[in-house]
Amino acid sequence: MWVLTFTVMLLTVLSVQAVGDRPLPSAYGLGHGFLAVGSRLVVTLIFVTIGALLIQRRLDSVVGWLLVVIGLDWAIQDYAVWYAAADLVGVSQHPGATLAAWFASWNWLPGQVGIAAVLPLFFPDGRLPSRRWRWALGVSVAGILLGTVGLAIQPGGLFLFPGIANPFSGPELKFLAAAIVDLSFASIGAGVLLAAASVFVRYRTSAYRERQQLKWFAYAATLAAAAVVATIVLRADLDPSADAQLIVIAYWLALGALPVAIGIAVLRHRLYDIDVLISRTFVYGSLLALAAGVYSASIRLFQYFFVLATGNKSDFAFVISTLILGTVFLPARKRLEQVADRWFNRRERKLDLFAEQVELVAGISVIDPAALARRLLKETLNALGSSAGEVRLRSSGGDTIVAAQGKIASVELKVPIATPIAELGTIALGARATGAAYTSAEIASLTHAAHAVGVALAPAVDEEAGAAILLR
């Protein structure tokens, strides 16, 4: 599939080179300069490459196959457009150029809509959230099929080549095509909303690792959605003949972030950096918006005062505005960082990271029960701010304290260190130094960490029990 896609892309590049700078009689691409076309081809290759990597990892990876199919669809779409374009501008006489133009005018829809209406339903494990979500998939697929048929039979000028009449339609199909297209828009809109809702539902019911994967996906999907909205708004304000290369490049690069995020999430490379990325985006995005607003408002305000006082505008308005911006920048950044830390970098997530580390090393290295218990207690006290705590592990002689720090006046929280079939011990915590109660999120994170430790300790505990039996 990768070789096929690359071959089609190579043919597209040759067609683009043949067309050169000649004006393209098409609404396609919102600009057709080399950089605009190149950005789309690069993103197409990224989709196919990431998809191939996921398929190589697991042959039944639904997400991987979707990425490959979308990338291949775009590659064929590009070639069809430029195959027809080369004929239309008189560079060469290709057989079937009208057929290629007709094909390109409806083939774009499955790939573009599939990203928003189908892919989220299967991310990250290749399965629907539950059987009940099959009807949501049906709505999305029905919308894609109806939209494709509607564009294919729409009479008059083709969608991407308005100067070419649809060779497979006529005036008698006008109302039928319009009704199908309207119905498809409703289905696609509902499908996109349902797909977005499925990500939210997965997030609420998933464990920590899957939540991190969903964060990567949601982050990239938000960038892509913002790029789509920005492209529509900017194109509405621009003259149709204006050069829109930069808009197209930005759009495709933002869309290319989606397969990269999927690759990071599924392959779990730097998976846990997403919280830092979201936090920094929030801080500096908000700071940029605040700075732009303050600077613009202060310039207008001081220019107004200068006009009232002197009758003329003055460059001092820019100087004063810059000083004001410099004064508010650092306090605003510190405040935004505090908000970001509170929202995105909560302390209990350190326990989830610890649990992931334990899960990675369990089974591939020798576990020292006492050392792992001490590490669990240390991470817990640092993450939750407890004043004291202790870890007890069960042995043939009963529960034994293997790690302790401080003196527990009263146990405020106790969580079992257990596997699905047996309880191996407990971790108990005293009150916080601040006196605040433990939250449900903190209890869930500690339970996750204690379970990971329990699974890691199970072989060592079983070995000790077997040795004790032999000694008897």
pLDDT digits (tens, 9 = 90+) for 313-360: 777 777 777 777 777 777 777 777 666 666 555 665 677 777 777 776
Place of tokens 């032999």: 470
Query: Can you read off the two tokens belonging to residue 95?
Result: 């057989």
State the burial class of residue 131 (Cβ atoms within 10 Å of its Cβ: 0-12, 13-18, 19+): exposed
Residue 28: the pLDDT is 47
Instruction: Among 101-115, 152-166, 234-248, name the one with the lowest average pLDDT.
Output: 234-248
Q: Give CA angle at 121 (120, 122), nearest 5°.
A: 90
pLDDT digits (tens, 9 = 90+) for 207-265: 777 887 888 888 888 888 888 787 777 766 655 555 566 777 778 888 888 888 888 88
Average pLDDT, rounded, for the chain: 78
Compare 459 and 391 and report the one with higher pLDDT: 391
pLDDT of 471 over the 90 cut: no
pLDDT of 470 over the 60 cut: no
Domains and CATH numbers, the chain: 2-269 (1.20.1070), 278-344 (no CATH), 349-471 (3.30.450.40)
pLDDT digits (tens, 9 = 90+) for 355-377: 777 776 665 556 788 888 888 88
pLDDT digits (tens, 9 = 90+) for 45-97: 888 888 888 888 777 888 989 998 998 888 888 888 878 877 776 666 767 88
pLDDT digits (tens, 9 = 90+) for 173-190: 889 999 999 999 999 999
Specify whether the CB–CB gap between 64 and 72 falls below 8 A: no
Specify whether the CB–CB gap between 328 and 313 falls below 8 A: no
Cα separation, 68 vs 217, in Å, equals: 17
Place of tokens 């006196």: 435
Backbone φ and ψ for 412, nearest 5 degrees, come out as: -95, -25
Specify whether the CB–CB gap between 77 and 111 falls below 8 A: yes
pLDDT of 149 over the 80 cut: yes
pLDDT of 24 over the 70 cut: no
Place of tokens 């199919």: 69
Residue 468: the pLDDT is 41
Compare 453 and 301 and report the one with higher pLDDT: 453
Between strands 398-405 and 413-418, the pairing is: unpaired
Cα separation, 160 vs 201, in Å, equals: 37
Query: Can you read off the two tokens belonging to residue 388?
Result: 């004291």
Residue 30: the pLDDT is 40
Cα separation, 37 vs 177, in Å, equals: 30
pLDDT of 29 over the 90 cut: no
pLDDT of 27 over the 50 cut: no
Q: How far is CA 53 from CA 48, 142, 444, in A?
A: 9, 29, 33
Residue 86: the pLDDT is 76
Taking alpha carbons only, the member of 43, 42, 30, 28 closest to residue 100 is: 28
pLDDT band at 7 (very low <50, low <70, confident <90, very high): low
Cα separation, 159 vs 375, in Å, equals: 63
Tell me the whole-structure pTM to 2 decimals.
Answer: 0.68
